[in-house]
Structure 1
Amino acid sequence: MSEETLVRRLNAVGVTALSDALDRLAISGQAIGILPVARGMKFAGPAFTVQMLPVGLTQGIVGDYIDDVPEGAVVAIDNGGKLDQTVWGDILTRVAHKKGVAGTVIDGVCRDSDCCVLLKYPVFSRSVTMRTAKDRSTAHAYGVPIQLVEVRIEPGDWLVGDSDGVVAIPAGRVEEVVAIAEEVEIAEKAILAAVDAGMRLDEARRAGGYHSLQSRAV
Structure 2
Amino acid sequence: MNSTTPSDTPLTEEVRDKLRNVTTATLTTLLLRRGFTNTFMKEVRPVAAGKRQMVGEAYTLRLVPYREDLGNIFSRDNRRDIQRVTVETMPEGHVLVIDSRGDAGAASCGEILVMRMMVRGVEGIVTDGGFRDSPSIGMLDIPTYQKMPAAPPIMVRHHPVEANCAIACGGLTVFPGDIVVGDQEGVVVIPRALAAEIADEAVKKEDVEEFIALCVLAGEPINDIYPPTPPLLERHAEWVRNGRKTNAVERMQA
Same fold judged by TM-score > 0.5? yes
Equivalent in the alignment of 2:62: 51
**SS of residue matched to 1:87:** strand
Q: 1:10 to 1:58 in 2, by over 3 A?
A: same
Structure 2 counterpart of 1:124: 145
Q: Which has the higher contact order (CA 8 A, sep 6+)?
A: 1
Which secondary structure does the structure 2 equivalent of 1:127 belong to? coil
1:103–1:123 CA contact under 8 A, matched in 2: yes
In structure 1, the partner of 2:83 is 63
| Gapped regions of structure 1 (runs ≥ 5) | 210-218
1:32 matched residue in structure 2: 42
CA distance in 1, matches of 2:183, 2:218: 30
CA RMSD of aligned residues (A): 1.9
Q: Which runs of 5+ in 2 are unaligned?
A: 1-9, 231-254
Contact 1:15 1:161 in 2 (8 A): yes
Secondary structure in 2 aligned to 1:38?
coil
Deviation at 1:95, TM superposition (A): 0.2
Structure 1 residue 16 and structure 2 residue 25: aligned? yes
Aligned-pair identity in percent equals 27
Distance 1:165 1:130 in 2: 22
Larger radius of gyration: 2
TM-score w.r.t. the length of structure 2 is: 0.76
Number of aligned residues: 209
Residue aligned with 1:80, SS: coil
How far apart are the structure 2 equivalents of 1:113 and 1:47? 22
Q: Which consecutive aligned stretches of 4+ in structure 1 deviate over 3 angstroms post-superposition?
A: 206-209
Residue 147 of structure 1 pairs with residue 168 of structure 2:
yes
Please give the alpha-carbon distance, in whole angstroms, between the structure 2 residues aligned to 1:185 and 1:175: 16
Between the aligned partners of 2:152 and 2:62, the Cα distance in structure 1 is 19
Please report how far the alpha carbon of residue 91 of structure 1 lies from its aligned counterpart in structure 2 after TM superposition.
1.0
Deviations 1:2-26 (A, max 9, x none): 6222221111012111111111111
Counterpart-to-counterpart distance in 2, 1:91 and 1:107: 19
More strand by share: 1
Give the letter for the 1:25 counterpart.
Answer: R
Contact 1:43 1:102 in 2 (8 A): yes
TM (norm. structure 1) is: 0.88
3-state SS in 2 of match to 1:178: helix
Mapped partners of 1:40, 1:186: distance in 2: 23
1:205 is displaced (CA, Å) by 1.5
